Amino acid sequence: KSFEKYTSIEKNLKLIYKTGFYSDAYAVVTRSGTEAKIIYNLISYPVLNNVTVTNANISTESLINKFKDAQIGKQVNSKEYYAFYDELLGTLRDDGYSLIDIEKFYFNYYNNTLEIAFSKGNIHKTILSGNSATGKNIVMRELTYGHTSPVKKSELNQSLKNVMSTNLFQQV
């Protein structure tokens, strides 16, 4: 072309980058006399080789397997990966696992592996304080969650309901 505005070049670069297939996109403009030449340079994401998961959860297992089947051997698309992250987190929340979080969602360029790590989502220790009238074991037996498995929101709600139903407390 003989003339193109820099704003249109920027717009094109943004559109290219928004596809999710490129880690970088830039343009080189060269001029020769009255003519300008635009060369778009696109740096593609690599191909996904593997997905590793730490602390997998039954809620997300089928979603992860579906993602692996669809994505391994294909070029990484950042838009699809962001959507997958949101879908994983949404699934955990929809299933009541409010304490499980995605601690790591990282593409390792060394071996082209998506690394996902979930927190365990369990309560490590329950401390009862400010209570001198009621024995600790009476309150603790009303708690429905364990300390070794992921805790669901429903278990926390049920525990609170159980403690309140003992009529030993005016407020919790």
pLDDT digit string (tens) for 80-93? 999 999 999 999 99
Give the mean model confidence (pLDDT) for residues 54-75.
94
pLDDT at 65 over 60: yes
CA angle, residues 158, 125, 148, in degrees to nearest 5: 75
If one compares 135 and 86, the residue with the highest pLDDT of the two is 86
Per cent of the chain over pLDDT 90 is 50
Q: How far apart are CA 69 and CA 85, in angstroms?
A: 16
Is residue 52 within 8 Å of residue 114, measured between CB atoms?
Answer: yes
Neighbours of 43 (CB within 10 A): 10
pLDDT at 142 over 50: yes
**pLDDT classification of 111: cutoffs 50, 70, 90:** very high
pLDDT of residue 167: 76
Q: Are strands 50-54 and 35-44 parallel, antiparallel or unpaired?
A: unpaired
pLDDT of residue 1: 47
pLDDT at 135 over 60: yes
Q: What is the DSSP letter of 47?
A: B
**pLDDT classification of 23: cutoffs 50, 70, 90:** very high
pLDDT of residue 86: 97
Name the pTM for this structure.
Answer: 0.76
